[in-house]
Amino acid sequence: MIFASITLREIQLPLKEPFAISSGVVEVRRILLLELIDRSGATSWSECVAGEEPNYSPETIDSAWYAIRDHLAPRLLGREFASPGEVHQALCRDFRGNQMARAALEMGAWGLKAVLEDIPLARLLGGTRAKVDTGISLGIQPSPEALVDKAAQALAEGYRKIKMKIRPGADITYLQAVRDALGPQAPLMADANSAYSLDDQNHIAQWDELDLIMIEQPLGWDDLVRHAKLQNALKTPICLDESITSLERARDMVALGSGRIINIKPGRVGGFTESLAIHQFCVEQDIPVWCGGMLESGIGRAYNVALASLPGFILPGDISPSARYWDQDIVTPAWEMDGSGRVNVPLDRPGIGVELDHERIAALTVRSHIIV
């Protein structure tokens, strides 16, 4: 592949309802889309998962826009790459951090490769599943009753895992209410997005009684040492999200005992090359893996669905259908989930497997920049 042009676009896509995590709320997703055009004319679109505020990781849509426009895209333009792995290397050389910015380009290169080879992206990655198990991520609700309603509805819709966002003051009473209402078999978990410290160890240890599948990222966003101490004192497995930014961090998690499960978000780790390496490592180490989400549009979702079709993704991913987030997605067909909580991997179509709604994308675009 030879990159002839790279276009950055920002779209603003309103969520159906605000999504609250411990560190902030989002109502309208500001999404950076990339369009990569090969010298042959073949085209691939990808999505940067960075949010508007640096409340999940240090990156934002604006830092990613700048990193891609001024530093990363110029490394790719006009050059020939034999594989997305070479693109990954070119983006990593003497370049610290900015995983989400790198991932948008690197994943776009995988999408382009799939188009050039005329095969589904999931096949190119080594996916083995035709359907992926799906979970829902519920934002923090105003009351335990409101959370119970949402969780009961999700279970009725077929979701295979129900993740509930928590924060100090909205944790055990909320989770207990859902456990009591949905029963001992309900597949429940909690995600704190780094809202606690080791001072809360005794409080968190009480959650063991809730029989959660896992507790996601209770402590610092880049911490491993304190998570190891906490995991040692807990029966419930800790799943790391924010702290796993590379294969090295995944190795450190295992070496230190900081957690027992990993949520892989390709955007958080710099793309698919790193995601595949982490997946391989986790399979070897018997670490269960699942695919996280970042409120992606239908474009980013396509990449997540493809990744989640790999064999090590044995837990349901945060890969809800389009209608959970948007009145209208920017792809056709929209992503759908069947009544038993599964999303089809589009194995009958080359590339990312969905068409773009170009008119809608144009209508939602607030800025664009083309680099040739």
Residue 363 zone, left/alpha/beta (φ > 0; ψ -120 to 50; rest): alpha
| Nearer to ligand OSB among residue 47 and residue 241 (C-beta) | 241
| Nearer to ligand OSB among residue 36 and residue 302 (C-beta) | 302
Site string for ligand OSB, 241-270 (x = CB under 6 A): x-----------------------------
**Residues from 285 through 344 that contact ligand OSB (CB under 6 A):** 292-295, 318, 320
Cβ neighbours for 309, distance < 8 A, ≥ 6 positions apart: 122, 125, 127, 128, 129, 130, 132, 345
Q: Which does 364 bind (CB under 5 to 8 A by kind): Mg ion, ligand OSB, none?
A: none
Half-sphere exposure of 12 (CA within 13 A, CB side): 6
Least distance (Å) from ligand OSB to the CB of residue 80? 35
CB 86 within 8 A of CB 1: no
Least distance (Å) from ligand OSB to the CB of residue 104? 16
The pair of three-digit structure tokens given for residue 270, joined into one six-digit string: 């710099």
Q: What is the DSSP letter of 199?
A: G
CB 351 within 8 A of CB 115: yes
Q: Would you tell me which residues interact with Mg ion (CB under 5 A)?
A: 191, 216, 241
Q: Which does 125 bind (CB under 5 to 8 A by kind): Mg ion, ligand OSB, none?
A: none
Least distance (Å) from ligand OSB to the CB of residue 137? 4
Tell me, rounded to whole angstroms, the distance of Cα 59 from its chain centroid: 14
| Nearer to ligand OSB among residue 178 and residue 294 (C-beta) | 294
Q: How far apart are CA 222 and CA 194, in angstroms?
A: 9
Q: How many CB atoms lie within 10 A of CB 293?
A: 23
Q: What is the DSSP string of 244-277?
A: --SHHHHHHHHHHT--SEEEE-TTTTTSHHHHHH
Least distance (Å) from ligand OSB to the CB of residue 215? 12
Closest CA to 42 of 119, 100, 104, 123: 119
Q: Which does 137 bind (CB under 5 to 8 A by kind): Mg ion, ligand OSB, none?
A: ligand OSB
Q: How far apart are CA 186 and CA 184, in angstroms?
A: 6
Q: Under the criterion CB under 6 A, does residue 223 sit at the interface with ligand OSB? A: no
| Nearer to ligand OSB among residue 214 and residue 294 (C-beta) | 294
CB 200 within 8 A of CB 187: no
| Nearer to Mg ion among residue 44 and residue 320 (C-beta) | 320
Q: Which of 46, 98, 137, 273 binds ligand OSB (CB under 6 A)?
A: 137
Task: Provide the pairing of β-strand 331-332 with 355-356.
Answer: antiparallel
| Nearer to ligand OSB among residue 38 and residue 329 (C-beta) | 329
Q: How far apart are CA 139 and CA 206, in angstroms?
A: 22
Q: Which does 56 bind (CB under 5 to 8 A by kind): ligand OSB, Mg ion, none?
A: ligand OSB
Least distance (Å) from Mg ion to the CB of residue 23? 11
- Residues that bind ligand OSB (rule: CB under 6 A) add up to a total of 12
Q: Which of 46, 60, 193, 273 binds ligand OSB (CB under 6 A)?
A: 193
Q: Which residues are catalytic?
A: 165, 265
Three-class secondary structure of residue 292 per DSSP: coil
Least distance (Å) from Mg ion to the CB of residue 178? 18
Q: Which residue's structure tokens are 């892989």?
A: 264
Task: Find the residue with minimal CB distance to ligand OSB.
Answer: 293
Site string for ligand OSB, 45-74 (x = CB under 6 A): -----------x------------------
Task: Provide the pairing of β-strand 365-371 with 3-21.
Answer: antiparallel
Binding site for ligand OSB (CB under 6 A): 21, 56, 137, 191, 193, 241, 292-295, 318, 320
